[in-house]
C-alpha cells in the first residue's frame, strides 16, 4: 500500500456557542492513500463537514482544535495562513455543497477559473490562463466553453455551476480532492452526471478523494472505503463492501436499512442490507387492498390542466415576449384510499400543479374536480368547506409551522375555520397527536422544541385535522434525515390504510415513491410522460425519460452501482488538446 496522502489523528473540533461548548468533532482518526476514494457518511450534525474544513484549514477563527492533521507529511496546524494557502487549490482542493453561493457573483466564470491557475502559477500569462480555463470548462462538459467563460455565475444552472467548481478543483491536478455534499442541491439526473464526472476526474488524476455525504446510494457507486460518523464521533470504518454487506455497528445497519431503493423488488438478490426497513413500509402501504380500483369513488380528477405564465419585458410598458407553459395539459385521477405519486425534476411543473389544485379556483384551462364537483363554480362558503377536505403537507417542517404558536393552536387553526366547538377541538388535538405518535402533552409546546421529524408529524396531524379526503404531500420527507424519513413514511403508509385517506404524493425522489405509492405519474416540462401502477412503471418503464430517471437513481449496493455509469470527463480537453476551433497554445503547435 502506498503512503497516506492525508492522515488525521485524534482530531477534535469545538465551538463556543451561547448554549455552551459544542463538540463538532471528537477523536476522529483516519487516513487517505493516493488514488483512494473515501466516503465520510453521516446525518446532519454528525460533524462530517467540519472535519473536512479542518483539513483545508478553513475553520472559522473561534474553533478550538486539537489533534493532528498531516498532509503529505506536513503538519497543517503548525502552518501559517500563507503556507496553507500555497497548498489549497494546488495540492488539495475542495468542491462545496451549494454551487449557487460558492462562486463570486460579480466575476466572470472564466476569470474565476483562471484565477486558481494564476494563484499557484504566477508565471502563466493572463492570456494562457484564460485559455486554460476554457479547456477546463470543456473538460467538465460545458458546451460552448468559449462563450460560457464570458458569462457570470447567475447565468449558469446549479449543475453547471457544480461543474465549474469541479473544473476549479482539478485545475492544478491536486493530490487530494474533498467534495462536501457536492450533489445535495441537484436533481437526480444532474447528480448522476456530476458524480460520474467527479469519479472520472479522480481516476484521471489519480488523486485521493474524500466524499462527504448523507446519501448511501451515492457512496456505493463512488467510494473504496467508508467512514460512518454520528454525533461528532466515528462509528465505523471499513471497505465499501464490508459496510454495505456486513455492517458491524447497529447505527450503520439502521442508517442503511432506512435507505429507500428503487431496485426493491420482492425478491431482490442484492446482498446489501440497504433498504430492509423500507420493505415493511411498502408492505403496510399495500396490505389492505381488496376493492378493485375501478369500483372505488374518485376523490380528485384533473382534466387537461394548463397553466401558462407570460414572460414580459419592459418596466414601463409591459409587453409579452413569450410564455412559459408551466403545466401543459395534464390529466389524472385519484381514487379513494389510493396514493398517487407525481414525480419529476425541478421545474417540471409539479409544484404548479399542486398549487393549482390548492387554489380551488377555475384553472386557466381544463378542469379540477374534487369529489366529482368542479372547483370552478364554488361559492365562498363551499370553498371554505372544501378547504377541510383537501389539505397540504409542506416540504420543510421548519418553515411550515409558525414558530410563535404552540402546537395545539397550530392544530386548531383549520378546525377554527370550520367552526368546531372548543371541546371538540381539544379532543381532536389529543387524538391527532396520538395518531401521529406524539404525546398529547406536547400541545402546549412550541415548534422549535421539536426535531425535524417530529415537526413533520405535526404537519401531518394538521393536514388530518378535519378528516380530509385527500392530502397533498409536497416532498414531505426531502428535508429530513434518512432514518427520520423512514419513520415518517411508515406513518403515512399506516394512516393511509387505517383512515382510508388518499394521497397525492409529489416528489422528485423515485426511490421514496416506490415504497408508498400505488400509482405513479412521471412529469416533464409540464406534461405527464408516463403513468401507471407503481410496479409497472418501475419494472417496465415505457418512456425514455422514465428510463433515464430510473438509471440516474443511485443504488445502495456497491457491486450493482459499479456496473453503471461511464467516463464523462474529457481528458483530451484537460490535457489541453482542445476541440475548439480557435487555436489554443498546444492547438497551434499541433496545426
Partner 1 sequence: MARFISIRVLTYVILVFLATSFAYLLAASLMHPEDVLYPPAAPKPVPEATAQAYMNARNINPDVPLFQRYANWLGGLVRGDFGVTTGTNKEMRPVLTVLSERIPISLRLVVLGTVIGTVVGVVVGMVTAVRRRSIGDRSATLLSFVLVSLPTPVVILVVQQINQAIQNRTGYGLPAINPVNPLLHGWDAFVYESKALVMPTIVLAVLAAASYSRYMKVTTLDVLGSDYLRTARAKGLTRGKAMNRHGLRMALIPMGQYFAFAIGAAFTGSLFVELMFNWQGVGRYVISAISMADINGTAAVVLYTGVLTLLSATLADFLQGLLDPRIR
Partner 2 sequence: MTNPSDLRGADDAATLQIESDHRANAVLEGLPPSEAEPPAGDARSLESIGRGELLRRRFLRNPSAVTGMVIVLLLILAAIFAPMLYQYGPFERDLRNALTGPTQFHWFGVDENGYDVFARTMVGLRISLVIGAGTALLTTLLALLVGTIAGYVSYKGRWGAFVDGALVNLINLFLVIPGLLLLMLFSPVLQQASWLWMIPLLAVFSWMLTARVLRAMTQQLVRTEYVEASRFMGVNPVVTIVRHIIPNIASWIIIDTTLGVSAAILGETGLSFIGFGIQYPNVSLGTVLQGYNISAPWTWIPPAAVLAALVISVNLMGEALRDALDPTSGSSRV
Which residues make up the interface to partner 1 (CB under 8 A)?
56, 58, 81-82, 85-90, 93-94, 96, 98, 101-107, 115-116, 119-120, 152, 154, 165, 168, 315-316
- Do residues 531 and 521 touch, judged by C-beta distance below 8 A? yes
The residue from 12, 162, 352, 391 that contacts partner 2 (CB under 8 A) is 391
Residue 442 binds partner 2, judged by CB under 8 A: yes
- Strands 37-41 and 208-213, sheet pairing: parallel
Residue 59 binds partner 2, judged by CB under 8 A: yes
DSSP string, 133-178: HHHHHHHTT-SSHHHHTTS-GGGS-HHHHHHHHHHHHHTT--SEEE
Residue 441 binds partner 2, judged by CB under 8 A: yes
- Smallest distance from partner 1 to CB 53, Å: 8
Residue 503 binds partner 2, judged by CB under 8 A: no
- Strands 339-343 and 519-524, sheet pairing: parallel
Bridge partners, 300 (sequence order) = 334, 370
For partner 2, the closer CB: 44 or 291: 44
Is residue 481 helix, strand or coil? coil
For partner 1, the closer CB: 22 or 378: 22
Binding partner at 470 among partner 2, partner 1, none, C-beta below 5 to 8 Å by kind: none
User: Alpha-carbon distance 84 to 312, whole Å?
Assistant: 50
User: Alpha-carbon distance 59 to 55, whole Å?
Assistant: 9
Element housing 448 (H / E): none
Binding partner at 451 among partner 1, partner 2, none, C-beta below 5 to 8 Å by kind: partner 2
Binding partner at 232 among partner 1, partner 2, none, C-beta below 5 to 8 Å by kind: partner 2
Binding partner at 315 among partner 1, partner 2, none, C-beta below 5 to 8 Å by kind: partner 1
The residue from 1, 2, 19, 73 that contacts partner 2 (CB under 8 A) is 19
DSSP H helices in 173-271? 188-205, 216-222, 240-245, 250-257
Residue 446 binds partner 2, judged by CB under 8 A: yes
Binding partner at 282 among partner 2, partner 1, none, C-beta below 5 to 8 Å by kind: none
Element housing 71 (H / E): strand 64-71
What 387-390 contacts at long range (C-beta under 8 Å, 24+ apart), as own/partner pairs, is 387/360, 387/414, 387/417, 387/418, 388/414, 388/417, 388/418, 388/465, 388/466, 388/467, 388/468, 389/466, 389/468, 389/469, 389/470, 390/300, 390/357, 390/358, 390/360, 390/468, 390/469, 390/470, 390/471, 390/472
For partner 1, the closer CB: 169 or 262: 169
- Do residues 568 and 200 touch, judged by C-beta distance below 8 A? yes
For partner 1, the closer CB: 119 or 384: 119
The residue from 392, 436, 493, 561 that contacts partner 2 (CB under 8 A) is 392
Residue 60 binds partner 2, judged by CB under 8 A: yes
Residue 183 binds partner 2, judged by CB under 8 A: no
Alpha carbon separation from 553 to 48, 98, 228, 260 (Å, rounded) = 23, 20, 22, 11
Q: Which range touches partner 2 (CB under 8 A), out of 40-48, 109-117, 259-267, 367-375?
A: 40-48
Q: Which range touches partner 2 (CB under 8 A), out of 194-202, 253-261, 448-456, 583-591?
A: 448-456
Residue 358 binds partner 2, judged by CB under 8 A: yes
Q: Considering only CA atoms, which of 542, 75, 460, 513 is closest in space to residue 261?
A: 513
Residue 50 binds partner 2, judged by CB under 8 A: yes
Q: Which range touches partner 2 (CB under 8 A), out of 73-81, 196-204, 379-387, 539-547?
A: 379-387
The DSSP 8-state label assigned to residue 88 in this structure reads B
Element housing 315 (H / E): none
The DSSP 8-state label assigned to residue 33 in this structure reads E
Bridge partners, 330 (sequence order) = 305
Sheet holding 527-533, edge to edge: 390-393, 470-474, 502-507, 339-343, 519-524, 527-533
Binding partner at 448 among partner 2, partner 1, none, C-beta below 5 to 8 Å by kind: partner 2
The residue from 5, 8, 11, 24 that contacts partner 2 (CB under 8 A) is 24
Residue 104 binds partner 2, judged by CB under 8 A: no
The residue from 10, 44, 75, 427 that contacts partner 2 (CB under 8 A) is 44
Binding partner at 439 among partner 2, partner 1, none, C-beta below 5 to 8 Å by kind: partner 2
For partner 1, the closer CB: 170 or 348: 170
User: Alpha-carbon distance 576 to 510, whole Å?
Assistant: 39
Give the residues lining the site for partner 2 (CB under 8 A). Answer: 15, 17-19, 22, 24, 44-45, 47, 49-50, 53, 59-60, 98, 101, 231-232, 358, 383-384, 387-388, 391-392, 394-396, 399-405, 413-414, 417, 439, 441-442, 445-446, 448-451, 454, 462
Amino acid at each position: 500500500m502506498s503512503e497516506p496522502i492525508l492522515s488525521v489523528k485524534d482530531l477534535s473540533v469545538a465551538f463556543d456557542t451561547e448554549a455552551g461548548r459544542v463538540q463538532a468533532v471528537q477523536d476522529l482518526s483516519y487516513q487517505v492513500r493516493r488514488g483512494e476514494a473515501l466516503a465520510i457518511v453521516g446525518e446532519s450534525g454528525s460533524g462530517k463537514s467540519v472535519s473536512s474544513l479542518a483539513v483545508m484549514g478553513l475553520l472559522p477563527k473561534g474553533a478550538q482544535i486539537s489533534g493532528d492533521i498531516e498532509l503529505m507529511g506536513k503538519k497543517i496546524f503548525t502552518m501559517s495562513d500563507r503556507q496553507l494557502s500555497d497548498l489549497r487549490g494546488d495540492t488539495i482542493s475542495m468542491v462545496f455543497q451549494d454551487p449557487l453561493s460558492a462562486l463570486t457573483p460579480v466575476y466572470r466564470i472564466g476569470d474565476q477559473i483562471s484565477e486558481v491557475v494564476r494563484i499557484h502559477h504566477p508565471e502563466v500569462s493572463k492570456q494562457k490562463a484564460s485559455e486554460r480555463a476554457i479547456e477546463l470548462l470543456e473538460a467538465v462538459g460545458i458546451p460552448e466553453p468559449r462563450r460560457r467563460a464570458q458569462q457570470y455565475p447567475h447565468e449558469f444552472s446549479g449543475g453547471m455551476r457544480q461543474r465549474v467548481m469541479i473544473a476549479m478543483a482539478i485545475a492544478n491536478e491536486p493530490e487530494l480532492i474533498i467534495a462536501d455534499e457536492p450533489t445535495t442541491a441537484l436533481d437526480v439526473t444532474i447528480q448522476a452526471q456530476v458524480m460520474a464526472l467527479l469519479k472520472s476526474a479522480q481516476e484521471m488524476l489519480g488523486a485521493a478523494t474524500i466524499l462527504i455525504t448523507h446519501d448511501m446510494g451515492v457512496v456505493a457507486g463512488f467510494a473504496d472505503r467508508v467512514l460512518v460518523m454520528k454525533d461528532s464521533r466515528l462509528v465505523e470504518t471499513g471497505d465499501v463492501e464490508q459496510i454495505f454487506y456486513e455492517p458491524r455497528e447497529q447505527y450503520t445497519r439502521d442508517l442503511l436499512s432506512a435507505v429507500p431503493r428503487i431496485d426493491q423488488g420482492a425478491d431482490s438478490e442484492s446482498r446489501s442490507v440497504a433498504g430492509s426497513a423500507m420493505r415493511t413500509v411498502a408492505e403496510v402501504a399495500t396490505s389492505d387492498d381488496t376493492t378493485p380500483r375501478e369500483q372505488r369513488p374518485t376523490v380528485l380528477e384533473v382534466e387537461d390542466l394548463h397553466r401558462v405564465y407570460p414572460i414580459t419585458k419592459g418596466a414601463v410598458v409591459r409587453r409579452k415576449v413569450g410564455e412559459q407553459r408551466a403545466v401543459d395539459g395534464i390529466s389524472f385521477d385519484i381514487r379513494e384510499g389510493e396514493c398517487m405519486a407525481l414525480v419529476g425534476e425541478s421545474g417540471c411543473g409539479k409544484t404548479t400543479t399542486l398549487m393549482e389544485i390548492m387554489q380551488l379556483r377555475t384553472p386557466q384551462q381544463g378542469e379540477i374536480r374534487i369529489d366529482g364537483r368542479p372547483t370552478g363554480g364554488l361559492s365562498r362558503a363551499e370553498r371554505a368547506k372544501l378547504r377541510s377536505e383537501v389539505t397540504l403537507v409542506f416540504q420543510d417542517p421548519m418553515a411550515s409551522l409558525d414558530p410563535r404558536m404552540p402546537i395545539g393552536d397550530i392544530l386548531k387553526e383549520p378546525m377554527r375555520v370550520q367552526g368546531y366547538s372548543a371541546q371538540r377541538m381539544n379532543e381532536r388535538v389529543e387524538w391527532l397527536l396520538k395518531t401521529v405518535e406524539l404525546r398529547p402533552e406536547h400541545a402546549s409546546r412550541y415548534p422549535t422544541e421539536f426535531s425535524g421529524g417530529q415537526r413533520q408529524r405535526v404537519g401531518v396531524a394538521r393536514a388530518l385535522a378535519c378528516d380530509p379526503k385527500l392530502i397533498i404531500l409536497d416532498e414531505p420527507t426531502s428535508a429530513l434525515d434518512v432514518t427520520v424519513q423512514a419513520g415518517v413514511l411508515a406513518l403515512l403508509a399506516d394512516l393511509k390504510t387505517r383512515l382510508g385517506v388518499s394521497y397525492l404524493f409529489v416528489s422528485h425522489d423515485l426511490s421514496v415513491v416506490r415504497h408508498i405509492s400505488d400509482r405513479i405519474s412521471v412529469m416533464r416540462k409540464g406534461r405527464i410522460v408516463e403513468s401507471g401502477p407503481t410496479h409497472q412503471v418501475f419494472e417496465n418503464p415505457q418512456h425514455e425519460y422514465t428510463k433515464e430517471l430510473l438509471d440516474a437513481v443511485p443504488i445502495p449496493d456497491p457491486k450493482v452501482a459499479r456496473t453503471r455509469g461511464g467516463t464523462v470527463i474529457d481528458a483530451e480537453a484537460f490535457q489541453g488538446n482542445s476541440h475548439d476551433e480557435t487555436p489554443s497554445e498546444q492547438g497551434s503547435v499541433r496545426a
